Amino acid sequence: MSDVRPLILASQSPRRLDLLAQIGITPDSVVPAELDESPLKNEAPGQLARRLAQAKAQAVAVSRTDAAVIGADTVVACGRRILAKPADAAEARRFLTLLSGRRHVVHGGLCVIVDGRAHVRHVATRVGVKRLSDQEIDWYLDSGEWHGKAGGYAIQGRAAAFVDLVNGSYSNVVGLPLHETAQLLGGLGLLR
């Protein structure tokens, strides 16, 4: 039996909306949560992803106590170094150069708030990037796909040509771990 309460996605990411649609979930509304996404001092990447996912969900849930609210966040990390959304092409180049020929981890934070209670999950996916030439980096930067993407790349776009390993949830790297999302919503009786 499913709960018929409204389902709200607390995200401005069109990718998360598309990912939910991929598994047959259409939120009743999308309400982006505006907050400072800067890491706290000594905050580990996984902790940051969980904290931001919960903060986004809580920011919306305070005014929508009748609804179930989904919050999510994606943090790309090379070791403990967090690679946020690059401010410009020069920073995107630095990120791609750092990721070149290495493995990194994409941390996904997921939170569903129902009746004031937060249900939080963390998903980590290991990603390998082949060694990139300067020409490949230039080609990717020229595409503009790096704009607004954690770590400076979108695995679902041209950067797929650079990825030689995905160990774990592919959809987590895109922006939302679908298996864990479906399991969490199903366990809470929220799948329709």
Q: At 130, which CATH number?
A: 3.90.950.10
Report pLDDT for 12.
Answer: 87
The answer to whether the CB of 189 falls within 8 A of the CB of 2 is yes
Distance CA 148, CA 87 (A): 8
Number of residues that make up the chain: 192
Distance CA 6, CA 55 (A): 19
Q: Give a yes or no: residue 50 inside a domain.
A: yes
Query: What's the number of domains the chain is made of?
Result: 1
Report pLDDT for 180.
Answer: 97
What is the extent of the structural domain holding 171?
7-187
Q: Give a yes or no: residue 62 inside a domain.
A: yes
Q: Give a yes or no: residue 88 inside a domain.
A: yes
- Judge whether 164 counts as a catalytic residue: no
The answer to whether the CB of 27 falls within 8 A of the CB of 17 is yes
Catalytic residue among 18, 66, 73, 142: 73
Q: Record the pTM.
A: 0.95
pLDDT < 50 stretches in the chain: 1
Other CB atoms within 10 Å distance of the CB of residue 181: 25
Q: Give a yes or no: residue 175 inside a domain.
A: yes
Distance CA 60, CA 126 (A): 30
